[in-house]
Amino acid sequence: MQKSPPVALVHLALATGGFAIGTTEFATMSLLPFFARDLGIDAATAGHAISTYALGVVVGAPTIAVLAAKLSRRTLLVALMLLFAAGNALSGIAGSYTEMLAFRFLAGLPHGAYFGIAALVAVSLVPQEKRTQAVARVMLGLTAATIAGVPVANVLGQVVGWRWAFALVAALALLTALLVLLLAPADTPDRDASPLRELSALARPQVWLTLLTGAIGFGGLFAVYTYLADTMLAVTGTSAAAIPVALAAFGVGLTAGNLVAPRFADKALMPTAAALLLWSAVALALWPLAAHHFWSVCLCVVAIGGGGALGTVLQTRLMDVAGDAQALAAALNHSAFNTANALGPWLGGLAITAGFGWTSTGWVGVALALGGLAVLGVSAMLERGAEPALA
């Protein structure tokens, strides 16, 4: 009988895909000036490539989860990484603005479904009391990308050309597909699985409340992160060379949060989610003060990044409330966070445009974090109210 690979190796294979996704998601922002110039468009127009990728995530996550309900999880993960590799490889050879938009949308389609299915596979290999830690190991690939993958892709883009940065991501995706094929356990598709059963998740109020918690509560982090570089130049008074240090500090916080918080979440999930939202509110409230000095900026963005562990905790929460519709609920988590990625910067931009200054994004973030906490509170109250009926 063939011996199964160690669980840690399977988690590493799944995290490699997260590293590839995190690299392309964040590095594309830093490569905007380079491909904008080559494609003959201005920076603002080139920014549509990022929005189109996010749209691909929002559309692809639920669509793929529903349509692929009868596929085995290992087969689906390999197919998703092959599609992701194709989308990024094509992005690297795009010859026009229109082509770039189409290929970034294609690259975004597998994003949410991959993380959702990878989380389910990771959890299936560990005891019940270590579920959130298993999800966190998959997400560590994405957080590590903010520290290592993004700077490497940016340097590669500057030295040999932005197209090679997308080639690097495509190569990582192909490596992930191979590792998953070799290491992930073979599984038999659930005979009762169907698109209709997956769609049943949408009839559960707790699923919607969990998604809304993420879509609102996580927006505060993006409100500050999106305008971090501009704030450092205009308020902190640093040079552009100092910005990557602060971005790396954010990645350190994000990684640290995903290492620490899941250990508490496996013992008390809802209190941990609430604590992370409160942590985010406090850290974001400190941003207007911290923004005036470089080292306080770095410390503050570490703290703000730490609140990013909310995504991992809510991923496990969705597993608890989704019933039989695990794939769709898990994938929708990433649609929710891409909604936060749109909501936070939009509201932050409104505050800046209204004349409240660059640091006002911190107060926008506080409001969003507390809004997410309020939704989580409603979810907890409804759950407690349902307990006697279930007893």
What does the pLDDT read at residue 389?
Answer: 41
Q: For 192-231, write each residue's pLDDT tens digit.
A: 656 666 676 677 889 999 999 999 998 999 888 878 888 8
Provide the CATH number for the domain formed by 1-192 in this structure.
1.20.1250.20
220-260, pLDDT tens digit by residue? 998 888 788 888 888 999 887 788 888 889 889 999 999 99
- Taking alpha carbons only, the member of 264, 230, 229 closest to residue 243 is 229
Domain 194-391 has CATH 1.20.1250.20: yes
**Checking phi first, is residue 74 left (phi over 0); if not, alpha (psi -120 to 50) or beta?**
alpha
Radius of gyration of the chain (CA): 20
Does residue 390 surpass a pLDDT of 50? no
- pLDDT above 90 for 359: yes
> If we measure between CA atoms, which residue out of 229, 227, 208, 210 comes closest to residue 218?
210
Q: 166-170, 340-344, 386-390 — which is least confidently predicted?
A: 386-390
Q: Do domains 1-192 and 194-391 have the same CATH topology?
A: yes
Q: Are 376 and 217 spatial neighbours (Cβ–Cβ below 8 Å)?
A: yes
Asked whether the beta carbons of 80 and 112 are under 8 A apart, the reply is no
Cα gap 273→333, rounded to integer Å: 14
**Rounded to whole angstroms, how far apart are CA atoms 55 and 57?**
5
Residue type, 37: R
- How long is the chain? 391
Cβ–Cβ under 8 Å, residues 121 and 77: yes
Q: pLDDT band at residue 388, thresholds of 50, 70 and 90?
A: very low
Token pair of 297, please? 């900026």
Q: Where are the domains positioned within the chain?
A: 1-192, 194-391
CA torsion angle for 108, 110, 113, 114 (degrees, to 10)? -110
CA distance 301 to 298: 5
